[in-house]
Amino acid sequence: MRILSRQEFESAKDEILTQILEGAVFIYPTDTIYGIGCNAKNSSSVKKIRRLKDRKEAPFSVIAPSREWIGKCLEVGEKGKEWVEKLPGPLTLILSKKGKCVAKEVAPGLATLGVRMPNHWFTKHVSELDIPIVTTSVNKHGEGYMTCLEDLDDDIKKGVDFIIYEGEKHGKPSKLVDLSDTFKIIER
């Protein structure tokens, strides 16, 4: 397991993006807190995150590679268009799926998907990959989320392929905006 600074990530970018495409599970910074993720189309990698977090069924969100991907894969009504235009930012928009855009393990049994585009340099690399990346807080289910390496659960640390680390985070999880049926903002 490697811990990479932004500069080290950028130097080895092609190798690391290939690892992500092939199923690596990794920790990365966002505009809010640290996330744990993987290629959201890779069922076995998503299952691994579920095991690491001890989170059996609650849905994960994804970082969308682009606004175009959101429009192609999710139902975006008039109200949704207003919110999609606010991206990137500390928002998770919950929208109805049009079809199979992620592995079923991302949001088991749900017709909706939470989607983010963090206002952070890492989002540019998700766009380069042109695939959705699972985004969920780095923690065991029900425990506090990671803001620095000292907060990182040992089992999670042992289970990831690499960590992109840029120091302590002072944010909080993104705001949830449910646009699937009835408009609702959920504070966390």
**From the candidate CATH numbers 3.90.870.10, 3.40.50.2300, 3.40.50.720, 3.40.190.10, the one assigned to the domain spanning 2-186:** 3.90.870.10
Question: Where do the domains of the chain lie?
Answer: 2-186
Cα 92 from chain centroid? Answer: 10
Residue, of 4 and 183, whose pLDDT is higher: 4
The pLDDT of residue 80 is above 70 = yes
Mean pLDDT calculated for residue range 156-184: 90
Q: How far apart are CA 21 and CA 55, in angstroms?
A: 23
Q: Which pLDDT value is given to residue 1?
A: 84
Rg (CA), the chain: 15
Cα 130 from Cα 45, distance rounded (Å): 17
Contact 163, 1 (CB under 8 A): yes
Residue 170 pLDDT class (50, 70, 90 cuts):
very high
Looking at residue 188, what is its pLDDT?
53
pLDDT band at 173 (very low <50, low <70, confident <90, very high): confident
Q: Residue 54, by phi and psi: left (phi above 0), alpha (psi -120 to 50) or beta?
A: left
- By the 8 A CB rule, do 39 and 23 touch? yes
Q: How far is Cα 87 from Cα 99, in angstroms, rounded to an integer?
A: 22
Supply the pLDDT for residue 116: 97
The model's confidence at residue 187, banded by pLDDT at 50, 70 and 90, is: low
Q: For position 90, what pLDDT does the model report? A: 94
What local confidence, expressed as pLDDT, does residue 184 receive?
Answer: 67
